[in-house]
Structure 1
Amino acid sequence: MMELKKALALENFAQTVYRKCDCCKRVRDIYFRLNIRDAKSTSMLVGSLELCKDCGYNMGDITNANVSTEKVLEEFNFE
């Protein structure tokens, strides 16, 4: 299963982009890019897919990747 995570690497975008999802073909905010690497060596990039939130979460479930659209940059205490 670890080779699957290397061959199909799901990455978050820093900022969303509004365009067509490569998976479901709907025009939505794009949150993720799925980088597809060579299956034998996992060192060469073969292609990529840009995914909306729903398709990205689904692909994360398929590859057992920890997927989240929320990032905590800094925590504040109001004391």
Structure 2
Amino acid sequence: MPAPPPLPEWVHDRRRTHGRRIQDWRRFRGFTQEQTAERAGLSLSSVQRIEAGGEIRFSAVLLVAEALGVPIGSLLSRDPGAPDAE
């Protein structure tokens, strides 16, 4: 069975964008990655992978959104009005 074709670059770009957005919300809320993982019921490595734009399950994004108290649309839309984290 042949391997599936590689994902287009725009998919990787979008995942990185969403990961940064999640990281911005986490910082805005004042949570560490460890706290976010605990609140979401995920491993620390899962939260790190999400923020790095790695491949993740949609259910993990739902759990992180809930843990951060953010509507899922704010994390995934193209123009979410994300907080400015500095």
TM-score, scaled to structure 1: 0.29
Higher alpha-carbon Rg: 1
Q: Which has the higher contact order (CA 8 A, sep 6+)?
A: 2
Higher helix share: 2
